[in-house]
Amino acid sequence: MDELIASVVRGLGIGSTYALLGVGFVIIYRATKVINFAQPALMILGGYFTSLFATRAGLPFPVAVVAAMVAVAAIGALCERVALRPMVGEPPFAAAMVTVGVFIVLLIVAFRLIGTQVLTVGDPWGLSRTSVLGVSVAQVDIAKIVISLVAIGVIGVFLARSRLGLAMRATALDQEVALAQGVDVGRIFGLSWAIAGALAALAGMLIGTASGGIEATTALVALKALPVIILGGLDSIKGSVYAGLLIGVAESLTRTYQPEHAPFLGANFDVVVPYVIMMAVLMVRPYGLFGTPEVQRV
Amino acid sequence: MLAVENLEVVYEDVVLVLKGVTLEVPRGEVVALLGANGAGKTTLLRALTGLLGVHRGSITKGSVTLDGAAIDHLDAPHIVAAGIGQVMEGRRIFAEFTVEENLRIGAHTAGRAAVQSGLDRAYMLFPALANRRTQLAGYLSGGEQQMLAIGRALMTEPAYLLLDEPSLGLAPLMVRRIRDLIGEINLQGTSILLVEQNAAMALSVASHGYVLETGKIVMDKPAAVLREDEDIREFYLGLRDEGAASFRAVKHYKRRKRWLS
Ligand SMILES: Nc1ncnc2c1ncn2[C@@H]1O[C@H](COP(=O)(O)OP(=O)(O)OP(=O)(O)O)[C@@H](O)[C@H]1O
Ligand SMILES: [Mg+2]
């Protein structure tokens, strides 16, 4: 039982970082109808900047995290302005290809910055453990869950309540009508990239905590966000959260139990679990768990 | 005064849709713009509100001025901020938003303080909306949706309001109410350009009227004169002195008749 709870908590921890990445995808998709393949690179830069600010510049950890989020938000907005804005009016598929280009450029930058090091982000949790319902779990997993869900909650309230949030939702529904109301749609595109960048930076920090560390190749972890958004539906924030947590837990449970109970599936089977779940769900519900049926796929 | 002079608009760099349109909306007036399907009425409104780009259209000649200042180079948000509101063809409310959210988005360029006064004004003008403010706008009736669209456009307290076929698809009673509302909004100080195919409705509230046909203004007269005009009566009001006997012939004739051919 303890093993099960520990495994679930670990899964929720990693799953909540997938959710953060997924929400970033969804926010950009809703505003621009483009799938942003550059998200993993933004994540890795977030880990890098957190490390830079916290361990090398010696800023207090929370300040370093916020500074990293701001830095990556700015990078995201800049990418949008320079690479994606000229694509407005072009087919979403072409724009998605441009984001692949942005991904490669940013990844090269990240490789230059990080080199072959493994960076620590200077988080305060380390390997310490705490007790939940009498079960010992890693503090960092609790931190991942709480921080991710709070961040996503803040975005949710911003979208639901604020004036800019309303403008973002209006833009997602009908760009021409939003324009006619005086919404600067281009600014909304930039804002959505900035938000996605900030969330990706936060995910990068969380993935780099404790034993993890950040390497240039950690970017590959963010690919798991693809099954998350496809499972959750490209246009649903709630869907991303549930799908992220679900995939995280499934992955963790597989890692815990599969070597013992289903060894014939081979080593590291947990790595493919997200994709297996994605395919299984898509066979039943082609538009994901929470997606709107008519949403177009790229 | 909102003035359009010798305006030419082209879609996709090749389709010439407005061929030198000149039109004026003086302050305080209601001006009607009549025209059959495809005449270019909506295109003219897009040109006035900075929405041509969305449709791959552009102004190739002529000018649009607001109280003497050129606005044809401005984008949509700046035109809204300059004091031109619009109700788009087909209402185009946000069906997934609540009534109140629809109104709030209309106030996007207005100051925070203006939101509350705008809401109060909208609910006063349209009491039907007041007790449905938290309902999804998609569930409103067609007439209520049209009122919501008008209310949304009024949130910025525009000096000029452009309406694209507000009577479209509405029952006669509702058309009359919309007409009365247009008169009331005008009395409250908003100048109006009313695009309509329902000439009877438009000319009953307007002081001046224009007729647009395949991209050209073919008539430009006081509304009272247009109401009595033979061609208008026949073409838009479906009235003809010979009586109903030759109705088929009239229809045929109506379809083929062009003032400029
Ligand atoms: N995006 C576009 N690209 C090319 N041609 C267009 C475009 N939009 C409109 N047109 C053409 O321009 C002409 C005028 O269209 P417009 O919508 O302005 O007419 P309208 O007077 O508003 O008609 P209706 O009464 O049917 O609304 C039509 O022939 C139409 O086919
Ligand atoms: Mg039209």
CA of A59 to the centre of ligand 2 (A): 59
User: pLDDT tens digits for chain A (298 residues)?
Assistant: 788 888 999 999 999 999 999 999 999 999 998 999 999 999 999 999 999 999 999 999 999 999 999 999 999 999 999 999 998 888 888 999 999 999 999 999 999 998 888 888 888 888 888 887 788 888 999 999 999 999 999 999 999 999 999 999 999 999 999 999 999 999 999 999 999 999 999 999 999 887 778 887 788 888 888 888 888 888 889 999 999 999 999 999 998 888 888 888 877 888 888 888 888 888 887 777 776 665 444 4
Contact between residue A140 and residue A209 where contact means Cβ atoms under 8 Å apart: yes
Give the span between the Cα atoms of A111 and A197, in whole angstroms.
18
**pLDDT (tens digit, 9 = 90+) per residue, B238-250?**
655 544 443 444 4
Contacts of A135 (CB under 8 A, 6+ apart): A2, A5, A6, A9
Nearest to A26 by CA among A220, A243, A245: A243
Residue whose CA is at the smallest distance from ligand 1 atom 25: B37
Residue B54: CB within 6 Å of ligand 1? no
Residue of B nearest to A182 (CA): B77
Residue B83: CB within 6 Å of ligand 1? no
Does some domain include residue A79?
yes
**Apex B209 CA angle, B215 and B234, nearest 5:** 80
Contact B92 A174 (CB under 8 A): yes
Contact between residue A23 and residue A198 where contact means Cβ atoms under 8 Å apart: no
Give the span between the Cα atoms of B107 and B113, in whole angstroms.
10
Q: Please report, to the nearest 10 degrees, the dihedral formed by the alpha carbons of residues B202, B203, B208, B209 taken in order.
A: 70
Residue B15: CB within 6 Å of ligand 1? yes
Contact A177 B94 (CB under 8 A): yes
Residue B12: CB within 6 Å of ligand 1? yes
Give the span between the Cα atoms of A151 and B21, in whole angstroms.
53
CA distances from B7 to A94, B10, B24 (A): 34, 10, 12
**pLDDT (tens digit, 9 = 90+) per residue, B198-236?**
999 999 999 999 999 999 999 999 999 998 887 777 777
**pLDDT (tens digit, 9 = 90+) per residue, B34-66?**
998 999 999 999 999 999 999 999 999 999 999
Does some domain include residue A275?
no
ipTM of model: 0.87
Does some domain include residue A297?
no
Residue whose CA is at the smallest distance from ligand 1 atom 13: B38
Q: How far apart are the first and last CA of chain A?
A: 42
The string of DSSP codes covering A219-261 is: GGGGGGHHHHHHHH-TT-HHHHHHHHHHHHHHHHHHHHHHHHH
Tokens of A221: 């972890």
User: Rounded to a whole number, what is the distance in Å from the CA of B92 to chain A's nearest CA?
Assistant: 7
Contact A176 B54 (CB under 8 A): yes
Interface probe for B, chosen from A88, A90, A171, A181 (most Cβ of B below 10 Å), is A181
Domain boundaries, position A105: 16-220
pLDDT at B138 over 60: yes
Q: Please report, to the nearest 10 degrees, the dihedral formed by the alpha carbons of residues B204, B205, B207, B212 taken in order.
A: -80
Give the span between the Cα atoms of B194 and B209, in whole angstroms.
9
Which residue among A89, A167, A174 sits closest to B108, beta carbon to beta carbon? A167
Q: How many domains does chain A have?
A: 1
Residue whose CA is at the smallest distance from ligand 1 atom 9: B43
Which residues in chain A have Cβ-Cβ distances shorter than 8 Å to B51? 176, 179-180
Position A134 scores a pLDDT of 81
CA of B157 to the centre of ligand 1 (A): 29
Does some domain include residue A77?
yes
Q: How far apart are the first and last CA of chain B?
A: 32
Domains of chain B: 2-228 (3.40.50.300)
Does some domain include residue A281?
no
Residue whose CA is at the smallest distance from ligand 1 atom 7: B11
pTM for the full predicted model: 0.88
Position A293 scores a pLDDT of 60
Mean pLDDT to the nearest integer, B145-151: 95
Position A266 scores a pLDDT of 78
Phi and psi angles of residue A35, each rounded to the nearest 5 degrees, phi first: -85, 125
**pLDDT (tens digit, 9 = 90+) per residue, B181-192?**
999 999 999 999
Position B60 scores a pLDDT of 95
Position A87 scores a pLDDT of 87
pLDDT at B32 over 90: yes
Contact between residue A172 and residue A12 where contact means Cβ atoms under 8 Å apart: no
Mean pLDDT to the nearest integer, B84-103: 95
- Which residues face A131 on adjacent strands? A136
Does some domain include residue A10?
no
